Amino acid sequence: REGCHKGRVDLCKPCDQRVPRVEPGACHHARACHEQEQQAPPDQSRLLPRTKVLEWPGDAHPAPRRSRRRPAGHDGREVVDQWNSACQQYLAEAEEQSGYPPTKRHGLILHLKSPTIRTSMLWEHKRIALEEGDVVKLVAVGETYASFQGFKDETSATIGLSLSKIHVQEGDEVLLSDGQIIIVITATPSETEVHGVCQSSKKLGERKTCNIPLAKQDTGRLWEEIGEDISQFALKNRAEYISVFAQTREDVQAARDLLEKGEDEGGRATKVLARVENAEALRNYDEILELADGVVISRGLLGREIRPEKVALAQKWCTTKARLAGKTVLVSDEVMESVISNPRPTRAEMTDAANSVLDGADAIVLARETSIGMFPESAVSTIGDIARDVELGLDTWQGLRWLHNLTPKPMLSLEGVAYSAVSAAVGMSACLMGITTNSIVPARLLSKYRPGIPIIVATTDPNVAAHASLIHGLFPLQLESAAPEEGLTQPMISESQIDMQYVTMVVGDEAADVSTPSFYDGDETISYSSTKFDLASIMEESRMPRKTKIVCTIGPRCWSEEGIEKLLDSGMDMAKIDFGMGSHADHQDVLQRLRQVFERKGSHCAVMMDLKGREIRTAMLKGHKRVFLKEGQEVVLVAVGGEYTSWEGSVDPQTGETRIGVSYTNLCKSCRPGSKILVSEGAIVIEVTEAVSNTELRGRILRGKRLGERKLCNLPGAELMLPVLGSTDLEDLDFACRQGADIVAVPFVQSAEDVEIVRRELRGRMGGDGVKVAAKIENAAGVRNFDSILRAADAVVVARARLGLEVPGERIAVVQKMICTKAAIAGKPVMVAGEMLLSMVSSIMPTRAEATDVANAAFDSVDAVVLTAETSNGSRPHLAVATASRILSSAEEGVNSTQLHSFIRDLSAWPARTTEAIAAAASSSCTDMALGLVLVVSADGTAARMVAKYRPRAPILVVSSSAAVLRFCGASYGLRPFLDPDLPEGGVGVEDSIRRGVEHAVAAGLCPPGREVMVVRGSGGRASADELPAASLRQASGEFEPVNVSTTLPVVTARVLRIHTARALDPARGAGARRASPPCWTPASTWRASTSATGRTPTTSACWTASGPSAAPGGPRRPCCWTPRARRSARPCCAAGRTSTSPPGRR
């Protein structure tokens, strides 16, 4: 403390006046001011995120948490000098403004090069056009690849590679140009030449990257170059970390040996991060993790070395193992790739970043997003906003229990004390932990157990301060001296210390209840997901039948009979027709082709028709010429109603006033000053400044662009005063009933009454009684009223594209999990739509963020994912479906069915109906006994959906005599249809139907031969299990062939997220709030200190909690953010059992 505070005055927080300091905390002036200040609980969304952000330095943008730099011939020294200068200036300005050293340090990571295989030069330096099916000869030319010239003739293409030997086998794949060109090996004439067939069409340039999946890379002379980088750059620039390519333990040891040679230059203080970039690194991951200080999951390269759909599993696997080992883990590559050229990331990227935080990553690395991107500040701040919002909902206690249960016992003394301290902090709902140490190991152990609160690391070692800034939840406070406080005989914890104690200080009276009980109701939702998988499930192809369904939007690119057949063969489970694409005649032709293909293929694929719903559009423009709207410009919005197709907006040539028509009659009633209006999917943002009349608003352009005619408008946060069904929708609804649609999707549902209106309209039409209603949640009103909407609807759709315009974009992941969880507890199908694999509209493979987003949908156990533009307008619709199918199958293999079943059962209402009770028991037995199939005899699908609700690991075969029931079951998780026209209504003869169903499952590959089958059927003379079910076991015919079981220890992950609806929708708790100054602890708060039961002087980490003024016992707890100012005014005085700021009469 003496090293930090040298001034003789205090700054009064409430009134910003400087007053003389008599005794620490004895400032009566500040106390009087504080008593006059209005007391309100601080907004937790203003806390800094505990997950750290790394960036590649670019041109000019604010100082981030840490920096990651790759030197180019050691020309990076100038960049590093600029970086260090900027960081010093940043810290100096921060200290000058506050008067105290900030709890923030910046550091440097040296990203060392990896072994790279490149293609050779080309004849006359002209790119080669490779077509699908071309014969390609790959030649190992070694170091001469810079002079060797590849070419293409009439028979084949010859391409040189910078390898001395090519170690591949027939059937292996070779990826060129970042995986855009795939070559399947067909022959291996020699070690220096192999032949293959090109699987994609693209032009190949010179010196493009080459990847050989699953092969070990030859490091060659790599370590000679790395040694020069370490000695000439890392040590001289005092890099806190080096990031090295590692395939084995020896690679990490080689890096450590090079650092130890530079011991005089501080080499021992530099930590080693091992980059996981290929399959060999995954095979040797445990030994790499044991020796390294942390790992970097390089998803970009890893996705080209293993199957792309396995990257999500590999990321979870590596992250979980690193967390259990207490090592730092970083997630890198393609985090927010779209922000390179767009200020707003895609929904998939935001959800992927949120899931990386939920998985427990210590830091997220931004590479091209900041090094060459046009919006580096947006990338860094968006990641920080997402991390902070997700961290607020984490269930700390459940995560602590999970991590403790999986940690090997007995623990080392240091880890045992760290766990005990974190457990105490979580148990008392502390708002802060503090540790004094000159070693990073004790602090890292505290971070391992994720207390869910900031951990202040007070240290005199600058290296420890820099290292702490990379680790989750650690905030360094560098002290000038280590003078012990009164009564603290051992202020600095060492790595080898074992006789440690910790001190807890709790706000208020001893008898006060400072804990907040957890509860589950409509406003707060607990979201849970758990996975369990081993290395074999990552490296090998998935064997389990897929359970998550795929809904495909039928459009011009796939609505031919050939296109529909390809979609079915690739894995389509439901077809969606969008009334916004084409006329009724077009849709009738598509339906006719769909049903012809379904009948020919024997498919029970359902058809969902998507209404247009409540739409607000801009009017026409004068002369049909687009109008350019620039930032800061004032515009007038005119509510023209139905005349928007003829009313023309214009720019007054004399006054320059721009008038824009809007088709929403009640525009002025729904908007008020400060409201935002989003036009053209958020490309144009208008802030309302005043209401001119009942039909006109004046606004200011916040984000400008050229405006065209009939562009969609969104009013975030507003409840639209429009009928749920317009005149066009009623015609579309009539068409859907006549054509026998299975499901009607209703956009912009705001209340349960909207669903009932649609249902009444369906009942009044011929053929409408059997049509199911799916409510699309696309705005804030739908989220607020979701509980009542869920009770009224048959299914729900999370329409992320529109929803991301209505609620803060960084909250999409949280809202999605809330909706999916509530629907799962209710046992109703939930589908996720919008930008799932958007890049595959034009690309042959998804981005890593998209692949991980689809996988996380399976981890969250959604019933179906909806592909929109990917299939309706994509260049390869069937490839998008096949890719989604592979990703979902791989992810489902890792779902921890036991834990998921327990979670759903715990939150369901008990005692339950007989049907649900039997369904839950059958599902549990299926997982516990590793059964091959669950067969459900169901007349209306109720029993089948109840079994699916509890997510058994095996597929669920639904036996029914109704084709309509089977089609709707296609929307539910794990349900596979079997139509049996001879299924009796009574119990007699049902055994024959069961036998036929089991035989069908074995023939279709749903159930392995010889495996046991759980049968859920009716009792009391009924065949159907929908009313009074019974469960029994059968054995499938055939001989069971056991599968080789992996001997590696499976990795179990769990995520528990608490989601508050109001917090998820409130834009005031978004990005702007995050950058506001955190609230400080004030002298009016009271503290208590308790010593250890052993009687020894407490000398170790403190769990500090703070709240508002001490009230009566049982008063509300008010957490606040700890800052150096609070530390100064509330110094713990443990030996005396008091604090120096306690008011008279307080302990």
pLDDT tens for each residue of 106-136: 778 888 888 888 899 999 889 999 999 999 9
DSSP helix/strand/coil, 15: coil
The pLDDT of residue 505 is 52
Domain 409-516+1080-1139 has CATH 1.10.8.620: no
The overall average pLDDT reported for the chain is: 78
Interval 983-992: pLDDT, tens: 887 767 788 8
63-96 residue pLDDT tens: 334 444 444 444 567 788 888 888 888 878 878 8
Judged against a pLDDT cut of 80, whether residue 185 lies above it is answered with: yes
In this predicted structure, what is the pLDDT of residue 864? 94
Q: What is the pLDDT of residue 482?
A: 59
Which is higher by pLDDT, 397 or 594? 594
Q: 836 in helix, strand or coil? A: coil
Tokens representing residue 1101 in the block: 């980490």
Residue 793 or 907, more confident: 793
* pLDDT of 591: 92
Of the candidate ranges 385-399, 423-437, 506-520, 797-811, the one whose mean pLDDT is the lowest:
506-520
List, for residues 391-415, the tens digit of each pLDDT value. Answer: 888 888 788 878 887 888 777 767 8
State the pLDDT at residue 21: 40
| pLDDT grade for 1122, boundaries at 50, 70 and 90 | very low
Residue 1100 pLDDT exceeds 50: no
Work out the pLDDT band at 1015, boundaries 50, 70, 90: confident
Q: Label residue 296 by pLDDT band (50, 70, 90).
A: very high
| Alpha carbon distance 313, 334 (integer Å) | 16
Domain 42-112+222-394 has CATH 3.30.1370.160: no
Range with lowest mean pLDDT among 148-162, 270-284, 948-962, 1076-1090: 1076-1090
Query: Can you give the pLDDT at residue 143?
Result: 85
**In whole angstroms, what is the distance from residue 406 CA to residue 426 CA?**
18
Could you tell me which residues come within 8 angstroms of residue 886 by beta carbon, excluding any fewer than 6 positions away? 307, 309, 542
pLDDT band at 1088 (very low <50, low <70, confident <90, very high): very low
- In this prediction, residue 501 has a pLDDT band, given cuts at 50, 70 and 90, of low
Average pLDDT over residues 306-317: 89
pLDDT single digits (tens) 913-959: 777 877 887 788 787 778 889 999 988 888 899 999 989 989 999 99
Average pLDDT of span 1129-1133: 34
Position 1067 scores a pLDDT of 58
Q: How confident is the model at residue 46 (pLDDT cuts 50, 70, 90)?
A: low
pLDDT at res. 1095: 33
State the pLDDT at residue 1107.
Answer: 29
pLDDT at 1117 over 60: no
How far is the CA of 90 from the CAs of 83, 95, 105, 376, in angstroms?
10, 9, 10, 18
Is 3.30.420.40 the CATH classification of the domain at 117-211? no
Q: Are 621 and 592 in contact (CB under 8 A)?
A: no
The number of residues making up the chain comes to 1147
Q: Which residue has the tokens 């010429």?
A: 625
Q: Is the predicted pLDDT of residue 1097 greater than 50, yes or no?
A: no
**Residues 808-834: pLDDT tens digits?**
878 888 899 999 999 988 889 999 998
- H/E stretch holding 1033 reads strand 1029-1035
Residue of 349, 324, 449, 338 lying closest to 856 (CA atoms): 349
586 Cβ contact list (under 8 Å, min separation 6): none
Per mean pLDDT, which range of 331-345, 581-595, 1125-1139 is the poorest? 1125-1139
pTM of this prediction?
Answer: 0.74
d(CA 602, CA 596): 10
Residue 1080 pLDDT greater than 90, yes or no: no
- pLDDT tens profile 636-662: 999 988 888 889 988 888 888 899 999
CB 933 within 8 A of CB 927: no
Residue 64 has what pLDDT? 38
pLDDT at 1105: 30
pLDDT for the residue 11? 43
- pLDDT classification of 1137: cutoffs 50, 70, 90: very low
pLDDT band of 971, cuts 50, 70, 90: confident
Tokens encoding 947: 């079994």
620-714 is classed CATH 2.30.30.90: no
Judge whether residue 568 has pLDDT over 80: yes
Tell me, what's the pLDDT at 573? 93
Residue 550 confidence (pLDDT) above 90 = yes
Is 371's pLDDT higher than 60? yes
In the prediction, which pLDDT does 56 show?
A: 67
Average pLDDT over every residue of 421-443: 81
Q: What pLDDT is attached to residue 855?
A: 92
Query: Bigger pLDDT: 430 or 836?
Result: 836
913-924 CB burial, b ≥16 within 10 A, e <16: eebbebbbbbbb
Query: Alpha carbon of 366 to those of 93, 328, 1110: distances in Å?
Result: 25, 17, 44
Residue 522 pLDDT: 62
**Sheet bearing 1029-1035, strands edge to edge:** 975-979, 956-960, 933-937, 1012-1018, 1029-1035
Confidence of residue 27 (pLDDT cuts 50, 70, 90): very low
- Contact between 775 and 755 under an 8 Å Cβ cutoff? The reply is yes
Residue ranges covered by each domain of the chain: 42-112+222-394, 117-211, 409-516+1080-1139, 546-614+723-877, 620-714, 898-1035
Q: CATH number of the domain at 546-614+723-877, please?
A: 3.20.20.60
What's the confidence (pLDDT) of residue 902? Answer: 81
**Which range is most confident: 284-288, 692-696, 717-721, 779-783?**
284-288
Per-residue model confidence (pLDDT) at position 780: 87
Q: What percent of the chain has pLDDT over 90?
A: 26
For residue 26, the model assigns a pLDDT of 36
- pLDDT band, residue 1020 (cuts 50/70/90): low
Structure confidence at residue 66 (pLDDT): 47
Q: Compare 35 and 58 and report the one with higher pLDDT.
A: 58
DSSP label at residue 125: G
Rounded-to-integer distance, Cα 773 and Cα 755, Å: 7
Domain 898-1035 fold is: Pyruvate Kinase; Chain: A, domain 1 (3.40.1380)
Q: Which of the four pLDDT bands, split at 50, 70 and 90, describes residue 220?
A: low
Contacts of 219 (CB under 8 A, 6+ apart): 115, 245, 247, 251
788 or 1089, higher pLDDT: 788
Average pLDDT of the segment spanning 529-543:
77
Check if 42-112+222-394 and 898-1035 are the same fold.
no
**pLDDT in the model for residue 263:** 64
Ranking 337-341, 528-532, 558-562, 961-965 by mean pLDDT, the lowest is 528-532
Q: Is the peptide bond before 1113 cis (omega within 30 degrees of 0)?
A: no
